Each structure stands twice: as C-alpha cells, then as structure tokens.
Amino acid sequence: MASSYLQPKTRKIYAILLPGILIYLLCCFVPLLFAFFYSFFNWNGGGQKEFIGLGNYAQLLSDRMFWDAFINNIVFIIWTVIGQIGIALVVAMLLMSKYVKCKTFHRTVLFFPVVLSAVVVGFLWRIIYNKDYGFLNLFLNFIGKEEWIKPWLDDPDLVITSLAIPKIWQYIGYYLVILLAAINSIDMSILDSAEIDGAVGWKKTVYIVMPLIRNTLIVTVMLCISGNMKTFDQIYVMTGGGPGTSSMVVAIYAYQVSMERMDYGYGSCVAIGILILSLLLILLSKVAGKGRNSDD
C-alpha cells in the first residue's frame, strides 16, 4: 500500500495538487488559525495583547448587534435560496424542453452575470434602485405605476429584499449549470415514461426530477447558504449596512469591529462566530434534506 504513494504517476498527481493545497493553507486555513488565536485576546492591533480567555465569546453571546445582523443574514439567505435555486430549477427544466431553441445562447446569457465582480454588480444595481434617477422608478413612472415607486435602498422594510434581488440575478446561472448537469444525468427513458403516464410540466419536475436529483439540490442549498452567509462586498457597496443597521450582516459587522473600531480580538471572535453559525446552518440543511430523503 505504501509503495503506491511512491509510483511516478502518483508523485505527479501530488506535485500538481501541491501548489493549490499550499495556497489554500496560506490563504484560508492559516488565517483561520490566527483568528481563533486572537479571539482569546483583547488587542487593538498594536502593543501588548491582553489574554481574556472566553471573554470575547461571552460578549458575543450577548451582543445584540451581532444577532440582529445574523437575523438579517437568515432573511437574506431565505430569499436567495428560493430565488437562486428555485429560478435555476425552473429555467433548467425549460431548457430541457424540446420546444426551447438556442439553448446554448440562453445558458451563456444566464451565466454571464456570474463572472462579474460583486462590486460591479453592487454599483450597477445601486444605480437601478436610485430613488431619483434609477431605471426601476423611471420605468414604473413610465408605465403609470407611480404608487409602486419606493426608496428601495432607504426603506428598512424593503432593503434586505432589494439587496437579495441582485444576488439572485447574479448567481442563477451558477446553479443552473449544476442543476442542468444533474438533470442530464437522469436516464431519459424515465422522463419519457413519466410523460406517457401523464407526468408533464410541474408534475414531472416535482414528482420525478426533484427526487432523482435530491442530493444535488442538497449540495446547491449548502453552497447557497455558505456563499450568502459570508456576503459582504455587494451589500457594503450598495448600503454599507444602512439605513441605520437594517441591512447590517455579520460580515459587515465583523469588518466594522475590526477595521473601524480597531478591536482585532473581538473582531476575530466575530469571524469565528460567523464560521460556527455557517457550519451549523449547513449541517441543518444537510440533515433536513437527508431526513426527508430517508422518510421517502
């Protein structure tokens, strides 16, 4: 067994993987270890660090701002999971239809926003949402729906939903590619038989396709949760967490604590808190999906 690791082919594989593994360790794992270490200290970035043990974690548990930001994250995640994966699934089923033409073109157009920077998307949608000259309000005024005109990014009751829409728009194509690959792996004879038995349209999607790609759906939900739990740049560009703290999410709160308040110890603790909560949400989504699968 040990000799298999020394074979020339195996050594080449490890040599190819080594740079990526080192980059991952240096950029992800090592900073995580440092954040965990600093979370036990009271430290402003200079001078001596004061060891306070679990003091930062005790403060985090009673930090109302952190938990309000976490609730905003949950609302944001609910919108994005429904929007990104739900719309991607509907579009994937439409693209699988024999009546849809130019499928490659549609996939390319839908995937294009994925390659855009989140900062670019944030600036673009901030212009669209502008209450004075934004395209959305101008369009509503043009079609005679002045009563629908809103200060989309300045209304605390609308801001999280308004921020979720650009995120949904940007990543539909990403989940579309994943779901199309899963649907294409289904034996077409199963789908043909379902259509003969009368399972067409939404019935085929709900009762045939979704159960067969359940594991892929679970993975996409986990990816969506992890990605949107750490969302920062787009929201920071569009609102900065405002108005007030109505669009504050945990990543922006960690940034403010560390970079604006210069409290690196507590900021590290907040970062570790984000990691723990993200892992718990991912675990819950996985358990819920697997539990439903076992019941079926």
User: Residue-wise over 20-34: b if at least 16 C-beta within 10 A, else e?
Assistant: eeeeeeeeeeeeeee
Rounded to whole angstroms, how far apart are CA atoms 155 and 151? 6
Label residue 115 exposed, middle or buried (CB < 10 Å: 0-12, 13-18, 19+). Answer: exposed
Question: What is the model's pLDDT at position 8?
Answer: 66
Over residues 17-75, the pLDDT tens digits come to: 899 999 999 998 999 999 999 999 999 887 788 999 999 999 999 999 999 999 999 99
* Most confident of the ranges 12-16, 182-186, 193-197: 182-186
The answer to whether residues 246 and 160 touch, using CB atoms and an 8 Å cutoff, is: yes
> How confident is the model at residue 292, as a pLDDT?
60
CA angle, residues 64, 65, 67, in degrees to nearest 5:
65
Integer angstrom CA distances of residue 71 from 63, 76, 197, 245: 13, 9, 45, 12
CB 162 within 8 A of CB 72: no
pLDDT classification of 101: cutoffs 50, 70, 90: confident
Instruction: Provide the 10 A C-beta neighbour count for residue 144.
Output: 8
| Mean pLDDT, all residues of the chain | 90
Q: Is the pLDDT of residue 143 over 90?
A: yes
For residue 224, give Cα distances in angstroms to 5, 112, 258.
36, 18, 26
pLDDT number for residue 295:
56
Angstrom distance (rounded) from CA 161 to CA 257? 25
Ordered structural domains, the chain, with CATH: 63-295 (1.10.3720.10)
Both tokens assigned to 45: 């970035």
Chain position carrying tokens 């074979």: 7
- Output the CA–CA distances (angstroms, integers) from residue 97 to 90, 191, 201, in the order listed: 11, 11, 10
Largest CA distance in the chain: 76
Are 222 and 266 a contacting pair, CB within 8 Å? no
Percent of the chain whose predicted confidence (pLDDT) is above 70: 95
Tokens linked to 147: 């009563």
